[in-house]
Structure formats: structure tokens, C-alpha cells
């Protein structure tokens, strides 16, 4: 609409880009007034209006909800559907749609589907499996791409995806691979229900069964649908104990899939066979003297039954002669037999199966004693320990004797070394068993041997035994200690304190014990300067070192082992360098130095050289010269390196003091030491003036032990030539360390530090004394000559001396020379040697007082004195005399000079049953010498060997042959021992002791008595008897019941009659009772024999079956597979026999619809088979039809009369979530006024779920169609309520998708239903004109009904509420007689067209109103 006056174009209704994106207007323009009286025709202007798109349309899905069906084998990445939402906005972002997968149920870590955001293509993201998840619920959202993100519109859609089944699963057997059936299972009985599961649907999951193999004799049949495996022919375990059926389970899919299972059916035995011995009588033989435990024969009985019914137990053999293994039937000896004493043994044995009651058969056994190889050799001691000195010539160590009571070749033994001697250091005599060395042994190579000795007899087959011989090689001192180095070098500072470590000696000696224990010693070359620790080898300083006296020491160190009979030693050279320290000041060769010169002596002339010397070395002896502070006026100079004094000024102008030059010499030590010398220059032209000493030098003698303050002497200077003034005395040099003091006034010299006076260190001190006046100097030299005092005790070269000496040496044999030094002079330094007082062993030795040579004063005996420690003293001849000491250790080395002795008990008793190889006695000889090791030799009755042998080095006496008191009652053993040089001998008498070796014998080896259960107490059963070949008390027999089942039997101790002591009950006693009866003699120790009395009890059917529970209750889910076991029950019957305790199970009542069957079978439980009744599911359960079963189960035995028992079994069926919710209608629709208040209920949907409990509880949710969040649904009731005000003008129709699902954790089973809400309009919008003032025009002379313009009003309502009618409002005229708008204009009531009612000639002031 255009304003005729302003030309403004107004919008009279909403534009719609989607309907018309462009508008073309033709606007007519004409002048409102004439121009120069001319009429201008109207002009037409073309106006093009481009409509810009507004995002006023949301994307729309064509269908909501969607239902998709895809195969479960859809490939990953394959496209299954394309979501297409339409957005009616114009081209561009407003209509560009992007898709997103907002939700997927069931939720998973990895989404099953992938949605392409651009194309909307839904594809498979991971492999699908209908059997795990059969359906999915997807919420997909479509959003346009408006530039302003806040103005974007979106729409969602709900898609349910069902996976169609593919036959992709083979049936899977759940049946166990092994079952057990009793062989007496009746024909027609169901042995087992086969169960195979196929998770596919429909025909794909329906399973059929068949037997494919292993049923060749047709004993089994399987129902093709139920899987019931039945017995159709009688089973016989003795014919076929195991059936391996190949079962096939096949589904009905296309193609069909199948699986197989091998079912192993083990037929369990029924005890219907009696054990049968292979023979009715057996003949056996046993070798005499055969050791106990030898197998005589194997009794074999056959019982074709299996399990307990076929497990044979052998018995009937009692006593001390034989034993019968109850499991293997092996008859073995329990003791050694003597054919000469008894040749034939008669036994009765029985074979009993494990049935209930057991079945028993008997057989006779005759055993003859033969002399055969039935005894294996036997070593009595498993481990033999020997000690052998090393380096011995080959010798016999011991006789290893095994015991074999066989005779002839069967008892002839051969011995072999089989292990432990890879270097063949030993020999073993194959016949005698004598073990000897084959060469000298070396302990350092092998210290211990573990020899395995095998002994074999000569029988066929030969028998063997083994023992271990541990040989310890005793050490001999055959290795010399070895230093770690041939020579040692070390340095140590000369000012190191006494006791400082110089170096550590190390040496090794591979010997053992004392032979390898080393001590260290030093030679006299140390001059007493060093000491060594004998155990650690650490060398330390023993005195204060002085490099100026001795700069290096070279001496011998030796190491010695501790062998008492001949130690070994080794030497090493040790060089110790003494490092210099700056401990000596330089000393000038001349001082004072007098020089007579002319006063005209030219300057720059060298006058003389002042030279000094330093006893130190290196930098400590390097000297630099300079003028002392007294001579620094500049008249002279001194060369720092040569000491040359040079004149720098003329002498004529110098005073006498100026012509006295003081030169200082300093070394380069740290800290440096210095001394001062004086050069005195006299002018020839001048007379001498000034103080003057009477002598240039003076000698004074002084004792070195003078005390502090002692006056050494006095020097005095006198004035000469007219000089005068006070004279002051001082030391110029020679007193650098302050040993003396001089009185400055008198010149008296005294001792200041007596400790610095040491004749041995410095016997002469040159003191330069200076006399000084104000103008002159005078000098004199005082030579203090120290007189030696006896202030040094003699010092031995070593503080400790160690010497080894053989015992038994002649009197006067030289042992060692000890030397001591005394640095004093004359008599003070002359040494006299002696032994210290109060030493108990000093009289055994002599010492030369002048030379220090020590010799023996007696013949030494190591067995009396093995070691002597003497204090050796050195005393000088001074007055008073001083003494030094050292320790002398004399080790007396052993000489084999004593014979061994044997302290032995002259008579011993040995039992006649002592075993070969056992120790009879041990002889230990004594030898006071330290070695060599002793060895022993044994003879019996003057002959070597015999029934006994002795270990060569240990003295153990072993039995090598069996003893028999009846053949010999005593032996005399002669034992000789030797140390290799001396021998001694002793006799030992062995007395044999007799033993009681005959036991009583029963007349029968087995007694049997058969009785019925409930036999009364004290009924006599049988009388048995036994005899004993011994005599006296040894043959008197007493009978005792050893084991009779808790005191149920009693036997008369004298006549052997056996009684019951209580009523015999099968349940407490068992079907078979073995009563062990003992017959014992009265010997000491007594011997006994035992026999078995077998009591057989017969069972009576006096017990009914009993269930362990009064009632059984169980719960099973309704989807339990057919063939599943619901419950396993076991009834027990206390009777013992097969007939009385065999049970059959049946369902007596409550089996509605024959849903269950009871299956009698066997179960392996805790290692035992149980007869059980299994309740099997044979028809499908349905909780919704029947949710409880009350069964009565009965169990009956097979005895006569038959006894039975019943028990209630309550089975509760548990609901399974197998039904989805169902809406009663396919869709819902409702008409709702847009004026409906917020909170009002729109609609209530209700879905039904036939499951129960939580499985039947339905939950509701709005999945799509409510992007504006106008509605809300109650999750539990399904009531849909309005949560925001409706506005029909914004959206007239709402389509909601409602999800109904059961389960607690999201949709397990679900249903969708669309709900359409149509919004009914109300007249809630007033019409309005978009332009309040509109100007238009009309040309004159236009006919009536000419269209001026079209008036537009807007009403947002629809229908009749939005249908508008236009009218011209009648207004009063502005002036009387003036026309109104209604008079000259009319408006079309429906279209709003404004028309003229007349033709206008001139402009009229008419203003229409509408």
C-alpha cells in the first residue's frame, strides 16, 4: 500500500519468502498542481521489492515415529536409512539441515549406529547381534543452520529399529559331557534330558535332537523334540562299561545349523559278582633269611563289578610272619625266615568286594621256605663319615660291608663306586668292600668327597643298595704362605708420630686350621724403627724417624703359618722411604767472618761469599740469602743465591757499625727456617777500637743432662782503643731453638731448655755471641761440647721376636741372636743381655750376655712345653744403668717321639641280632704328639678281618658278618694303632647275648564265623588255639583281642574262646568285622602272633528311606530351558544290602500338565557317587498361566517288605520380563483449546504389560514432537499435562511420540504411540490497520466506482475469528453542508477496496474514515 501524498509504501500483511521471494510494484506518480497551465500526465515507476528470508520454519520429518527393520548381520559401515527433514525456509543456512543422534537406548560405551550430520544417513557403527540386543530406540534431531545460532530451529524424531533374526547361532549343548548310569536302570527310564540352547528366534532357535553315533547296539533313544534320552535295552556294565554317544542338536533355520557333543555315559556297577580267585590253592616259596617286606606272591581274585562292588580287598593273613596287602593282594613277609626252623607255612586268605553287603571267597596258600636271592643288600648306615690325611700313600680306609642273608651266589656281594669320585682318587674292592685311596689326596684341591657306593648281590636278578661315604680330607701343612707381592714399598713422613701406619702386609695360605693361620714378622733390618702386628700384618713406626740420620729402610718381612710340627714361611722385601720435613735451619760455614780491607776499596766489588748449608733435602735445603734487618742502610748487598757480599758505598765514610754486615740465610721449607751470620770489616788504615773479646772462639764442655739455669759459662768483652759505653750481650746465631739464655749485661750463658740438649742428636752447639755498644760490635764463638750422659736405654731391633725350634735338640743348640743398640757412648752404650727374672721356663735356655745369642740349656719336650714366652733384657754399663726389653716367643715344633696308647674296655656285650654294618665299638687311641694322624688295624682271633672291621683313621669297629649266639658266644678282637713310627696294641673281648626269637603259632591262619544281625550278647562264637616252640615262660601263651570294634568281642585269655559282648547290629558293626586275636608268650621281650577271625553279619530290611529335609522349596524362572534340572534330591536308606537300600523316585501328585518328570540317576559328589532323584523340566513354564507347583515326591526301596517315604516339593515360578507394554490404540488425538490453562491434563495414555512386579511396571516418556517443551508426561501414570501456554497462531498442531517401557534401567521392552494435539483457536487477536493514516488521490473526471486504493487490516486469528469486514464510519461533517466521506466513497465490505461514489471535478476536502 502506497501513501498517495508521501509516496511511502506500507506493508499490509506478512511477507512469506517461501511463497513469493520477490514483489514487482508499478507506482503511478502525477503532479498535484498544474505547471505553467499545462497538464502533466502521470508517470509510472517500477518498484522491485526483494523479500529477505527469515528463519520462520522448523525442519519437519515426514513421519514420527519411524519403525525400521534391519537384518542383524548388516555390515559395519552399511547404510540402513536416510533421515530427511524438510525446512521450508528459502535457500541458504535457514534451510540447511544438520542431523544429530541425541539418544540411543539401550545405552552403551560404543554406539551401535552412526549418523552422518550432513546427509542424515544412518549406518551401522559396530557389529549387531540380535541375541544380545533385539531392538534399539533412537532419538534423532534435525537443526537448521541459521546464521544467528540463537534463532536456529530444530525438530526431533523417534525411530525404533528392530533387528531381524538371522540363523547365525548354532545350538549349544548345556548337557554335561559325562554322566553316570547304574547298570540296573530299568528299561524305559529316562537317563538324561538333553538341553541345547539356540538364541535365535522362531524356527532358527527351535532345536531338534538325534543320536549320530556310539549307539550301535541300540540301547538308547532320544526324543527329537524334548531331548529325553531313554534306555530302551537293558544295560550291562560287564559287556560295555562306557558309551560314547555322538549327539547332534540341529535348529530349523535356513540353512540349518547344528552342533555335536560327545556324551560319555559311564555305567556304574551293581554288586552282583562274587570275587573269584584264579586258583583254589596257591603254592609259594620264600628264601630263608630274606628281609621283611619281600613279596612272596600276588593273589589275584577277579570281580567283574566296578566301583566298590568290584574293588577287592584281601585279608585273612595276620601275625608277624606274613602280611597281605588289602588292595594289591601281594603277600609279603613281615620278618626273616629260617628254613631249618620252619619250612612250610599254611595260610587261608579271603577276597572281599566293597559291596553292601560284601561278597567273600576264600583260597588256601602253602608257602615253602627256599634258599634264594630274596634279600637285597642293605647298608646299616646311610651315611659313613671318614677322615683321611692328605698326601698319604694309597692305603685302605675302611671295609664297607652290606648285609645280605642269602647264601651262595645270592649272598656274594660286589661293591662299586658310582658317584662322587670323578678323578678316581679312590678304589673300592668289589669283593671285600675295602675302600682305599688310589693316590695321595690334596685337601686344597678337594676338601670333601661324597662317594656313593653301590652294592649288588650275585643273584638273578641282582639286588642292590647304596650308601654315601663322606670323606673329609685332613689338612697337612703342605702349602707355604704367599705374600700378595714380592716386595713392598712405602713412604712416610719423618715427623709421623710413633705408631703411625706405614703399610699392611697381606698373605694367603690355602691350608686349613693352624696350618693356614699366619703371623707376620720383621727382620733386624728395621733397626728397631718399625713394628708389625703379627695378626693383621700392619707395619707401624716404633721410634721417631729422622731422615737426616737415615733416609730409607730396607728390611725383610716374613709370614709364617701355625703348624706346631713344622711351620712354613715366606719372605718379602720391604722398602720404606722417609719423606723429609723442614726440621733443620741453614748453618753458615764461618761466622763471624773477619775481613781486612783498605778504605779505598772500590765499590761494586765482591768482598766475600757467605755460604750456608742445610741438612734437609729438596726445597727444605734450598737457601736464599739477604741482608739482615741490622744491615739495611744500603752500604752493602748480598746475592740471594750465592751469598756473595758486594760493596755499594765507599768504606771511608762508614762507621765501624756500618762496616758490620749481617747476612741472613733462609731455606724454602714450609714454614721456612733461617739463621744469621756476621761479616766484620776492619780498615787497614785504622787502629782497632771498640769492645773486644779475648778469644775469637771458646770451647765449653756441658753435660747433656744439665738442668735449666745451669751456668754454662761467661764471655766478656773489654773496651779497646779508647772506646767506652755499656756493652750488651746477645746471641747472633746458634740458639735458634732457644736451648740457652745469655745475660745481656754480664754475658753469662745458662741452660734455658734442657730437653734440647741431647748428645745423641747434636753433640756440639756453636753459639755466636754479639757484644754491642752504641758505635761498635764485637763477636766471639762459644762452642758448647755436650758430654754424654746415660740417658738412653738399650733398644732391641725388634720389640717382639718369634722363633721356632724342634723339640729334643741337644743342649746348647743355637736358637737366635737378639741385638740391642744404645746410642750412648762408652760404658753408657755397652750392652749386657739377660733373661728377665721370675720366668718359669728361663732355665731351659741360655743367653750370651755379650752377644745376645740364645741357646738351649736342656732338651726340650713339646709335650711338656709347646711354647715359651721369655722377657729378654739389655742393660747398659752406665751409672745408673738403663735396661731395655723385648719379648721372645719360642714355639717348640713337634717331633714324633711318643707312642700312641689305647685306653679300652677289655670286655663288651653284643646282642646276637646286631645288624651287619652296625657299629660295635669305637677305639680312640691317644698320642700326645701333634701328629701325624693315627691309624688302626684289627684282627680277630689272630687273623685279619673276620666278622669285624675297623676304620683306619677313626677307630670305629663295624660288624661285617651276622652273629649267631647258638654257633658262637664270644670273640677276641686285637686292635693295633700306629702313628707311622710307633705302635701299640690292645685286646677286646666281645660276648654275644641270646634273644627270644620264636613266636607262638596258630593252628589256622584264618577263622570265619557267619551270624545274623541282632545276635545277643555273650554268645560264644569260636575257640582258637596257638602253640610256642620255646620252653618255660617263653612258651606260655596268653590270648587277647586287639581290635574288635569298640569292645564288641571278648576272648578267654587261657582257652581262646571268643564271645560277643553286645548285640550285633549291622548299622554299627558293618557287614564284615575282622577281629584280630593275639597270642603272646611270656619271654623277655615277649613275642606274639596274631590271627584274623572274620565275623559276617547278614542284613535285614528294617529301615525305610529318609529324606534329609521335611520339605523342599525352590524357585525357577519361567524361561528355564526344557531338560533343565529343577532340583536334586537324595534319600538315604540305612540298610546295607543292595535290595534293601536301592531306591526308586516318583512324582505322586501335583504335577499339573505333566510339566515335570523325576529322573533317577547317579551323581559324583565329593568323590563319591550318590543315588539321586532329579526333577527335570519337560514342558515350557509360563508364569502368567501357572506360577506355583506343589509336588509330592516319593522314594521306595526294593526290599521285602518294601518301605517308602514321601516329601513335599514346592516350586515357585519366577516372572521373566518377556512381555512388552501394549497400547490399546495405535494412536491418540485430542482437540485442545489454546486457552487451556497451564497444568491442565491433556490426555492420559495407558499401556498394559502382562509381566508382574517390576517387569510389569510401565514407565512413560515423551521422545519427540515437543521441541518447545509445552507438554510433560507423568512417568508412572501416563498423564500428559500442559506445562506452557499454547498459542495456535504459532503452532496449530502438535504430534508427540510417547514411549512406554518396562524394566528399571532403561527400555528393556518398549512401545511407541503418536499423540496428536490439535489446538483450537479462540478470538484472542483484534484486527488492526498496519497504517493509521493513508493518503490517496483520484484524478478529476474519473467515473464513479473508480478504485482509489485497497485498505488492509490484519487479524492473527483464523476461521471466522480471522475473517474481516470493512465499513466506512460515518462522521459528522466538518462544516454544515459539507459532504462526508461516506457520501462520496464506499468500501468493499470483504475486500477493503475503496471506491468513489461520484466523479470529481475539482479538489474537494473530503476525508474518508474507515
Q: What is the pLDDT of residues 175-215, one digit of tens each?
A: 888 888 888 888 888 888 888 888 888 899 899 999 999 99
Nearest to 253 by CA among 198, 201, 203, 197: 203
| β-strand pairing of 1293-1301 with 1259-1264 | antiparallel
Dihedral sign for Cα 590, 594, 597, 603, please.
positive
Does 1383 score more than 90 pLDDT? no
Structure-block grid coordinates of residue 1166: 565329593
Positive or negative torsion for Cα 836, 838, 841, 844: positive
Better-scored residue on pLDDT, 1371 or 255 = 255
pLDDT value, residue 1410: 47
Is residue 1040 within 8 Å of 1075, Cβ to Cβ? no
Give residue-wise pLDDT tens across range 1102-1147.
889 999 999 999 999 988 887 788 898 989 888 777 778 878 889 9
What is the arithmetic mean of pLDDT over 1327-1333? Answer: 83
Nearest of 400, 334, 396, 327 to residue 367 by alpha carbon: 334
Q: What is the pLDDT of residue 831?
A: 93
pTM of this structure: 0.47
pLDDT single digits (tens) 638-688: 999 999 999 888 888 888 888 888 999 999 998 999 999 998 889 888 888
Weakest mean pLDDT among 882-891, 1312-1321, 1325-1334: 1325-1334
Q: Whole-angstrom Cα distance, residue 1339 to residue 1033?
A: 173
384's CB contacts (< 8 A; 6+ apart) are 398, 400, 467, 468, 469, 470
Q: What is the torsional sign of CA 189, 192, 196, 202?
A: positive
Residue listed under C-alpha cell 621281650: 1085
What's the mean pLDDT when you consider all of the chain?
Answer: 86
What does the buried/exposed string (b/e) look like for 993-1002 if buried means 16 or more CB atoms within 10 Å of the residue's CB? eeeebbbbbb
Per residue in 681-739, pLDDT (tens digit) is 898 888 888 898 898 889 999 988 899 999 999 999 989 877 888 999 999 888 888 89
312 contact partners, CB below 8 Å, separation of at least 6: 275, 301, 303, 329, 351, 352, 353, 354
pLDDT score of 318 more than 80: no
**Residue entry with cell 520454519:** 57
On the 0-12 / 13-18 / 19+ scale of CB atoms within 10 A, 846 is middle
Band (pLDDT 50/70/90 cuts) for residue 248 is very high
Tell me what the mean pLDDT of segment 622-634 comes to. 86
789-802 pLDDT per residue, tens: 888 889 888 888 88
> Among 1041, 1136, 1130, which residue's Cα sits nearest to residue 1097?
1136
Note the Cα 848 to chain centre separation in Å. Answer: 74
Give residue-wise pLDDT tens across range 941-957: 777 767 888 888 888 88
Flag whether pLDDT at 419 surpasses 90.
yes
Q: In whole angstroms, what is the distance from residue 1337 CA to residue 28 CA?
A: 11
What's the confidence (pLDDT) of residue 1403? Answer: 47
- What is the model's pLDDT at position 1305? 63
Nearest in space to 180 (alpha carbons), one of 126, 135, 243, 225 = 243
Separation CA 557–CA 560 (nearest Å): 10
Residues in the chain: 1410
Whether 1273 contacts 1237, CB under 8 Å: no
pLDDT at 1046: 53
pLDDT tens digits for 1249-1268? 888 888 888 899 898 888 88
Largest CA distance in the chain: 190
Closest to 789 measured CA to CA, from 762, 826, 753, 819: 826
Long-range contacts, 1281-1286 (Cβ 8 Å, 24+): 1281/1239, 1281/1240, 1281/1241, 1281/1242, 1282/1232, 1282/1236, 1282/1237, 1282/1238, 1282/1239, 1282/1240, 1282/1242, 1283/1238, 1283/1239, 1284/1238, 1285/1234, 1285/1238, 1286/1232, 1286/1233, 1286/1234, 1286/1235, 1286/1236, 1286/1319
Of residues 456 and 401, the one with the higher pLDDT is 456
Listed in order, strand segments (DSSP E) in 295-408 are: 295-298, 301-302, 313-315, 322-324, 330-333, 344-352, 360-370, 383-389, 396-399
Residue 905 has pLDDT above 80, yes or no: no
Q: What is the pLDDT of residues 354-391, one digit of tens each?
A: 877 788 888 999 998 887 777 788 888 888 898 898 88
The band of 29, judged by pLDDT with boundaries at 50, 70 and 90, is confident
Give the pLDDT of residue 1407: 47
Task: Give burial (CB, 10 Å; 0-12/13-18/19+) of 695.
Answer: exposed
Q: If pLDDT is split at 50, 70 and 90, which confidence band does 109 have? A: low
Instruction: Identify the residue with better confidence: 535 or 967.
Output: 535
Structure-model confidence comparison of residues 907 and 1212, the more confident one: 1212
Under DSSP, the state recorded for 926 is B
Q: What per-residue confidence (pLDDT) applies to 1069?
A: 59
Average pLDDT over residues 149-153: 88
Which pLDDT score is estimated for 1206?
92
pLDDT digits (tens, 9 = 90+) for 1214-1240: 988 888 899 999 999 999 988 899 999
What percent of the chain has a predicted confidence (pLDDT) above 70?
97
Tell me, what DSSP letter sits at residue 1066? H
Chain segment 67-78, per-residue pLDDT in tens = 999 998 899 999
- Listed in sequence order, the residues at least 6 apart from 1023 whose beta carbon sits closer than 8 Å to its beta carbon are 1055, 1056, 1057, 1058
Whether 117 has a pLDDT exceeding 50, the answer reads yes
At residue 558 the predicted structure's pLDDT band, cuts being 50, 70 and 90, is: very high
Amino acid at each position: 500500500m502506497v501513501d498517495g501524498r508521501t509516496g511511502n509504501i506500507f506493508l499490509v500483511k506478512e511477507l512469506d519468502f517461501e511463497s513469493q521471494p520477490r514483489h514487482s510494484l508499478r507506482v503511478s506518480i502525477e503532479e498535484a498542481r498544474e505547471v505553467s497551465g499545462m497538464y502533466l500526465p502521470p508517470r509510472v515507476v517500477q518498484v522491485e521489492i526483494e523479500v529477505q528470508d527469515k528463519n520462520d520454519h522448523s525442519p519437519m520429518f515426514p513421519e514420527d515415529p519411524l519403525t525400521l527393520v534391519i537384518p542383524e548381520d548388516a555390515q559395519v559401515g552399511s547404510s540402513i536409512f536416510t533421515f530427511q527433514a524438510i525446512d521450508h525456509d528459502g535457500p541458504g543456512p535457514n534451510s540447511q539441515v544438520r542431523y544429530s543422534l541425541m539418544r540411543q537406548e539401550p545405552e552403551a560405551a560404543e554406539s551401535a549406529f552412526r549418523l552422518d550430520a550432513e546427509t542424515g544417513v544412518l549406518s551401522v557403527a559396530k557389529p549387531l547381534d540380535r541375541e544380545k540386543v533385539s531392538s534399539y530406540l533412537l532419538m534423532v534431531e534435525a537443526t537448521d543452520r541459521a546464521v544467528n545460532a540463537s534463532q536456529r530451529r530444530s525438530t526431533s524424531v523417534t525411530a525404533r529399529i528392530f533387528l531381524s533374526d538371522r540363523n547365525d547361532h548354532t545350538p549349544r549343548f548345556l548337557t554335561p559331557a559325562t554322566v553316570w548310569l547304574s547298570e540296573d536302570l530299568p528299561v524305559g527310564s529316562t537317563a538324561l534330558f538333553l538341553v541345547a540352547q539356540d538364541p535365535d528366534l522362531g524356527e532358527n532357535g527351535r532345536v531338534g535332537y538325534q543320536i549320530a553315533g556310539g549307539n550301535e547296539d541300540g540301547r538308547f533313544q532320544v526324543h527329537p523334540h524334548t531331548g529325553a534320552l531313554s534306555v530302551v535295552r537293558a544295560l550291562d556294565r560287564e559287556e560295555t562299561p562306557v558309551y560314547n554317544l555322538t549327539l547332534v542338536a540341529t535348529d530349523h533355520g535356513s540353512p540349518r545349523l547344528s552342533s555335536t557333543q560327545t556324551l560319555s555315559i559311564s555305567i556304574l556297577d551293581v554288586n552282583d559278582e562274587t570275587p573269584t580267585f584264579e586258583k583254589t590253592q596257591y603254592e609259594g616259596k620264600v628264601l630263608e633269611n630274606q628281609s621283611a617286606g619281600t613279596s612272596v606272591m600276588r593273589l589275584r581274585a577277579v570281580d567283574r563289578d566296578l566301583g566298590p562292588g568290584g574293588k577287592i580287598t584281601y585279608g585273612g593273613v595276620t601275625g608277624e610272619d606274613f602280611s597281605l596287602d588289602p588292595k594289591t593282594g601281594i603277600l609279603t613277609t613281615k620278618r626273616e625266615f629260617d628254613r631249618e626252623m620252619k619250612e612250610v607255612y599254611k595260610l587261608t586268605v579271603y577276597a572281599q568286594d566293597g559291596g553292601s553287603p560284601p561278597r567273600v571267597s576264600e583260597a588256601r596258600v602253602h608257602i615253602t621256605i627256599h634258599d634264594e636271592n630274596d634279600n637285597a643288600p642293605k647298608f646299616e648306615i646311610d651315611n659313613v663319615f671318614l677322615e683321611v690325611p692328605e698326601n698319604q700313600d694309597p692305603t685302605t680306609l675302611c671295609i664297607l660291608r652290606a648285609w645280605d642273608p642269602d647264601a651262595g651266589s645270592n649272598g656274594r656281594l660286589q661293591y662299586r663306586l658310582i658317584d662322587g669320585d670323578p678323578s678316581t682318587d679312590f678304589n673300592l674292592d668289589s669283593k671285600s668292600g675295602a675302600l682305599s685311596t688310589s693316590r695321595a689326596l690334596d685337601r686344597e684341591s678337594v676338601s670333601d668327597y661324597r662317594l656313593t657306593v653301590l652294592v649288588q648281590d650275585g643273584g638273578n636278578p641282582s639286588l642292590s643298595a647304596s650308601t654315601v661315604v663322606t670323606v673329609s680330607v685332613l689338612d697337612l701343612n703342605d702349602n707355604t704362605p704367599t705374600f700378595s707381592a714380592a716386595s713392598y714399598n712405602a713412604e712416610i713422613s719423618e715427623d709421623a708420630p710413633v705408631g703411625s701406619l706405614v703399610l699392611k702386609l697381606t698373605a694367603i695360605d690355602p691350608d686349613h686350621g693352624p696350618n693356614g693361620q699366619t703371623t707376620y714378622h720383621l727382620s733386624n733390618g728395621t733397626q728397631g724403627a718399625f713394628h708389625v702386628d703379627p695378626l693383621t700384618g700392619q707395619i707401624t713406626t716404633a721410634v721417631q724417624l729422622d731422615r737426616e740420620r737415615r733416609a730409607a729402610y730396607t728390611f725383610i718381612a716374613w709370614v709364617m703359618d701355625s703348624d706346631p710340627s713344622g711351620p712354613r714361611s715366606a719372605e718379602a722385601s720391604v722398602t720404606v722411604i722417609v719423606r723429609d720435613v723442614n726440621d733443620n735451619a741453614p748453618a753458615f760455614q764461618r761466622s763471624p767472618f773477619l775481613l781486612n780491607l783498605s778504605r779505598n776499596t772500590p765499590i761494586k766489588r765482591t768482598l766475600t761469599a757467605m755460604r750456608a748449608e742445610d741438612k734437609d733435602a729438596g726445597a727444605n735445603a734450598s737457601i736464599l740469602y739477604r741482608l739482615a734487618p741490622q744491615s739495611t742502610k744500603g752500604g752493602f748487598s748480598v746475592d740471594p743465591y750465592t751469598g756473595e757480599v758486594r760493596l755499594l758505598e765507599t768504606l771511608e765514610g762508614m762507621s765501624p757499625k756500618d762496616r758490620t754486615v749481617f747476612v741472613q740465610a733462609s731455606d724454602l721449607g714450609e714454614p721456612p727456617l733461617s739463621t744469621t751470620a756476621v761479616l766484620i770489616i776492619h780498615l787497614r788504615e785504622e787502629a782497632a777500637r771498640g769492645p773486644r773479646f779475648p778469644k775469637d772462639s771458646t770451647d765449653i764442655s756441658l753435660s747433656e743432662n744439665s738442668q735449666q739455669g745451669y751456668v754454662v759459662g761467661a764471655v766478656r768483652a773489654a773496651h779497646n782503643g779508647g772506646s767506652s759505653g755499656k756493652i750488651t750481650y746477645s746471641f747472633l746465631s746458634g740458639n735458634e731453638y732457644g736451648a740457652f739464655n745469655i745475660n745481656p749485661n754480664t754475658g753469662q750463658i745458662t741452660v734455658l731448655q734442657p730437653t734440647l740438649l741431647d748428645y745423641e742428636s747434636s753433640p756440639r752447639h756453636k753459639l755466636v755471641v754479639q757484644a754491642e755498644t752504641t758505635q761498635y760490635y764485637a763477636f766471639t764463638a762459644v762452642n758448647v761440647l755436650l758430654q754424654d750422659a746415660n740417658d738412653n736405654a738399650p733398644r732391641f731391633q725388634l720389640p717382639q721376636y718369634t722363633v721356632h725350634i724342634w723339640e729334643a735338640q741337644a743342649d746348647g743348640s743355637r736358637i737366635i741372636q737378639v741385638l740391642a743398640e744404645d746410642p750412648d757412648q762408652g760404658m753408657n752404650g755397652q750392652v749386657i743381655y739377660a733373661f728377665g727374672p721370675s720366668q718359669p721356663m728361663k732355665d731351659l735356655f741360655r743367653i750370651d750376655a755379650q752377644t745376645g745369642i740364645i741357646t738351649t740349656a736342656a732338651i726340650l719336650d713339646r709335650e711338656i712345653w709347646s711354647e715359651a714366652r721369655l722377657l729378654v733384657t739389655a742393660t747398659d754399663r752406665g751409672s745408673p744403668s738403663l735396661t731395655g726389653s723385648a719379648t721372645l716367643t719360642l714355639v717348640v715344633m713337634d717331633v714324633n717321639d711318643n707312642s700312641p696308647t689305647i685306653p679300652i674296655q677289655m670286655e663288651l656285650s653284643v646282642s646276637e641280632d646286631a645288624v651287619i654294618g652296625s657299629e660295635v665299638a669305637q677305639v680312640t687311641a691317644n698320642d700326645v704328639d701333634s701328629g701325624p694322624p693315627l691309624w688302626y688295624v684289627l684282627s680277630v682271633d689272630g687273623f685279619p678281618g673276620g666278622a669285624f672291621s675297623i676304620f683306619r683313621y677313626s677307630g670305629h669297629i663295624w660288624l661285617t658278618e651276622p652273629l649267631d649266639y647258638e654257633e658262637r658266644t664270644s670273640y677276641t678282637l686285637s686292635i693295633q694303632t700306629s702313628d707311622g713310627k710307633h705302635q701299640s696294641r690292645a685286646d677286646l673281648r666281645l660276648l654275644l647275648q641270646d634273644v627270644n626269637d620264636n613266636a607262638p603259632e596258630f593252628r589256622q591262619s584264618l577263622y570265619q564265623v557267619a551270624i545274623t544281625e541282632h545276635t545277643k550278647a555273650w554268645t560264644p562264637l569260636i575257640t582258637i588255639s596257638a602253640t610256642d616252640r620255646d620252653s618255660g615262660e617263653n612258651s606260655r601263651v596268653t590270648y587277647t583281642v586287639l581290635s574288635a570294634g569298640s569292645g564288641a568281642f571278648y576272648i578267654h585269655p587261657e582257652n581262646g574262646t571268643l564271645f560277643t559282648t553286645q548285640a550285633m547290629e549291622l548299622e554299627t558293626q558293618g557287614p564284615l568285622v575282622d577281629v584280630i586275636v593275639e597270642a603272646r608268650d611270656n619271654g623277655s621281650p615277649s613275642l606274639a602272633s596274631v590271627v584274623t577271625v572274620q565275623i559276617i553279619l547278614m542284613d535285614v530290611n528294617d529301615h525305610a528311606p529318609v529324606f534329609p529335609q521335611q520339605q523342599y522349596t525352590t524357585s525357577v524362572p519361567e524361561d528355564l530351558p526344557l531338560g533343565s534340572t529343577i532340583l536334586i534330591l537324595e534319600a538315604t536308606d540305612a540298610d546295607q544290602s543292595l535290595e534293601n537300600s536301592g531306591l526308586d523316585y516318583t512324582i505322586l501328585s501335583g504335577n499339573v500338565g505333566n510339566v515335570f518328570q523325576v529322573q533317577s540317576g547317579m551323581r559324583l559328589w565329593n568323590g563319591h557317587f550318590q543315588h539321586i532323584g532329579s526333577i527335570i523340566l519337560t514342558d515350557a513354564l509360563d508364569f502368567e498361566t501357572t506360577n506355583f507347583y506343589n509336588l509330592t515326591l516319593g522314594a521306595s526301596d526294593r526290599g521285602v517288605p518294601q518301605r517308602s517315604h514321601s516329601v513335599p516339593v514346592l516350586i515357585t515360578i519366577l516372572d521373566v520380563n518377556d512381555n512388552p507394554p501394549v497400547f490399546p490404540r495405535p494412536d491418540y488425538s485430542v482437540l485442545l483449546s489454546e486457552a487451556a490453562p497451564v497444568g491442565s491434563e491433556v490426555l492420559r495414555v495407558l499401556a498394559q504389560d502382562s509381566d508382574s512386579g517390576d517387569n510389569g511396571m510401565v514407565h512413560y516418556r515423551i521422545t519427540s514432537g515437543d521441541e518447545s517443551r509445552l507438554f510433560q508426561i507423568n512417568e508412572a501414570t501416563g498423564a500428559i499435562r500442559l506445562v506452557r501456554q499454547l498459542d495456535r497462531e504459532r503452532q496449530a498442531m502438535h504430534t508427540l511420540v510417547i514411549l512406554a517401557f518396562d524394566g528399571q534401567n532403561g527400555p528393556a521392552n518398549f512401545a511407541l504411540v503418536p499423540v496428536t494435539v490439535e489446538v483450537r483457536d479462540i478470538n484472542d487477536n483484534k484486527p488492526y490497520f498496519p497504517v493509521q493514516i493513508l493518503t490517496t488521490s483520484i484524478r478529476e473526471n474519473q467515473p464513479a466506482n473508480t478504485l482509489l486504493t485497497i485498505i488492509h487490516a490484519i487479524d492473527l486469528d483464523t476461521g471466522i475469528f480471522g475473517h474481516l469486514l470493512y465499513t466506512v464510519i460515518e462522521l459528522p461533517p466538518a462544516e454544515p453542508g459539507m459532504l462526508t466521506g461516506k457520501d462520496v466513497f464506499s468500501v468493499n465490505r470483504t475486500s477493503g477496496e475503496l471506491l468513489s461514489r461520484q466523479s470529481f471535478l475539482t479538489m474537494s476536502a473530503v476525508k474518508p474514515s474507515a
